[in-house]
């Protein structure tokens, strides 16, 4: 876990999140920036690729637990290197509720240390940001085939008070 990616992610913990330059990734509806979404908490979830087994299960799980995240005053923002048309198709085919962000140019994944350069997609990682824009927790999975359960993410959110 002492990889460069983890070091970059954990370097953000308890530091101010650079909202003005962060997450200018396009969703299927609009370009989102964290600085516009700070009236509530965020759970940013980097995922490798749409239509893969673990990512499909994870995005379905985020949709199933959408209400639980809303009750925790948190929005889940999944982000991958897939194109906007691919994410639009993925969302429709899997009947997903969450908006999906595209980092097609790999800028956000590279900036936050989640991009697996040799594979050209992002590793699976999570960043929990409170309503003040402060990163409170981050985690980078050792392999893209593993993921955190929503219960763990919700527990992290509850611990923020």
Q: Name which of 79, 10, 85, 5 is nearest 45 in CA terms.
A: 79
Please say whether the beta carbons of 41 and 149 come within 8 A: no
The pTM score is 0.78
The pLDDT, as a whole number, for residue 161 is 66
As annotated, the active-site residues are 55
**Distance between CA atoms of residues 154 and 20, nearest Å:** 26
Residues of the chain with pLDDT under 50: 1-35, 37
Instruction: Quote the pLDDT of residue 137.
Output: 85
Check residue 39 and give its pLDDT.
61
């Amino acid at each position: 876990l002492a990889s460069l990616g983890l070091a970059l992610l954990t370097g953000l913990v308890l530091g101010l999140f650079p909202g003005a330059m962060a997450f200018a990734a396009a969703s299927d509806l609009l370009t989102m920036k964290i600085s516009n979404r700070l009236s509530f908490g965020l759970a940013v979830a980097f995922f490798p690729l749409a239509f893969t087994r673990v990512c499909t299960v994870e995005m379905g799980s985020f949709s199933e637990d959408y209400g639980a995240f809303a009750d925790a005053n948190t929005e889940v923002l999944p982000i991958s290197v897939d194109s906007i048309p691919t994410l639009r198709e993925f969302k429709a085919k899997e009947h997903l509720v969450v908006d999906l962000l595209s980092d097609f140019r790999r800028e956000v994944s590279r900036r936050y240390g989640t991009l697996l350069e040799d594979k050209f997609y992002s590793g699976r990682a999570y960043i929990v940001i409170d309503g003040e824009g402060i990163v409170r927790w981050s985690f980078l999975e050792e392999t893209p085939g593993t993921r955190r359960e929503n219960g763990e993410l919700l527990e992290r959110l509850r611990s923020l008070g």
